[in-house]
Amino acid sequence: MEIKENKSYYDAAMHQINGDSLCLSTYQYLKKNEEWAGRYEDFLKGKKSLPLLYDPFFKKIFNPTERRDRLSELVSCLLGQKVTVLEVFPNEDSQFLGVMIIMDMVVLMADGSIANIEIQKISYDFPAERISCYSADLVLRQYKMITGKNQVGKHEPSMNGSSKPSYKDMRKVHTIILFEDSNKSLISEVDKALYFHVGKTKFNTGIKIELLQDFVLVSLDTFRKYRYSDIKEGRTEITDYDYDSSQYNNALVSEKMKRDRLKFLSLFVAETPQEIDKLVETFPDLESVRHDINEYLERPGEVLSMFSEALRILDRNTAELMVDRMKDEIVDLKAQNDELTEQIDGLQVQLQQKDELKEKNNELQEEVQRLKKLLEEQNK
């Protein structure tokens, strides 16, 4: 795709926006957030790439209809096994909604397994509990599929064509979460540069029972800090940081999958067109992604709507996070209040006891004085 001078895209976009009341209204909403308005304008000026980690952009670049092969390639390299994505489930089906989620996609693979690909702007509070809930949600979806229960009490043919559900029909469920900004719970005690965390259930006795749920957690900030600079310079030799052979069936993992993992994670942290260009030199098949990104320079109204939608998601999630944290603060304050009330009650008991002791002491003093007086009278 032939690229015009950067300024011409920006000027053309501003001309289109000012001539369209809907675009102008959207742009005014975006302008309320200087950072996001700046990112949109910098994209048009060729200073920034698209923020691919955010829902509207991710789902365009990895569109399950138009770019199914690309999406399948991404999921394959993250799971360490070749998979084919068949369809994407609507987000509304989820039983658990997280805060600060900037991208969420649940996909069904050809083998019947399900993966939830989620991107978190920050590492949320109580990550273990939340991740467990997300995985449980996937198991529930899987169970509904094999039982044919799309609604409570409504039965449809199961996946194997039988009217009776069978646990043998259950397939793997994969929870994949990429963290834009991870907290200390995602820093390995083994090596702080480890960024790709794989979780599976194992038994202490070594019995071979493979449970359905597994987990992939990726610390993108750690990847950027310790690995990305090498990759930008074309140093893409696979290391133990990139691929832990103990966690995979090596017969299922190709060298291409290993390189694809570096390719896509680098794409997600790249911020400028110049970085994308360097990545294309190292990974030539990223040319199609660069082409898709550059095409949006010709569609400023559409990309403006994408930026606006990403900001709405961020605003909504930020509000939800604030509400959640305020609820936590209220619980903490109530606990502190209960503790203080208990302490006050204890102090009041002590004061009451002190008053009683003081009263008894006064009575004793009076009795002492009475006895002294009586003794004096007897000695006269």
Q: Stretch 131-158: mean pLDDT, rounded? A: 71
pLDDT of residue 378: 78
What DSSP letter does each residue of 104-131 carry, written as one string? Answer: EEEEEETTS-EEEEEEESS--SSHHHHH
- pLDDT class for 152, splitting at 50, 70, 90? very low
With respect to residue 324, please indicate whether it lies within any of the assigned structural domains. Answer: no
C-alpha 116/C-alpha 96 separation (Å) is 12
Structural domain boundaries, residue 240: 50-298
Q: Which of 164, 162, 160, 140 is nearest to 152 (CA)?
A: 140
| pLDDT band at residue 153 using 50, 70 and 90 as cut-offs | very low
Judged against a pLDDT cut of 50, whether residue 191 lies above it is answered with yes
Residue at 361 is within a domain = no
Q: pLDDT digits over 284-310, tens only?
A: 999 999 999 999 999 999 999 999 999
Asked if residue 359 belongs to a domain, the reply is: no
Each residue's pLDDT tens digit, 40-90: 999 999 999 999 999 999 999 999 889 999 999 999 999 999 999 988 887
Residue 96 has pLDDT above 80, yes or no: no
Whether 144 is covered by a domain: the verdict is yes
Would you tell me how many other CB atoms lie within 10 Å of the CB of residue 71? Answer: 24
Distance, in Å, from the CA atom of 364 to the CA atom of 358, rounded to the nearest integer, reads 10
Q: Residue 220 pLDDT more than 90?
A: yes
Residue 5 covered by a domain:
no
- Amino acid present at 160: N
Q: pTM for the whole thing?
A: 0.78
SS3 call for 154 = strand
Residue 365, in any domain of the structure:
no
Confidence band of 154 (pLDDT split at 50, 70, 90)? very low
Mean of per-residue pLDDT scores for the chain: 85
Residue 330 lies in a domain: no
pLDDT higher than threshold 60 for residue 94? no
Residue 368 covered by a domain: no
The residues that bridge with 305 in the sheet, in sequence order, are none
pLDDT digits (tens, 9 = 90+) for 3-48: 444 668 999 999 999 999 999 999 999 999 999 999 999 999 999 9
Nearest to 116, CA basis, from 124, 127, 105: 105
**Structural domains counted in the chain:** 1
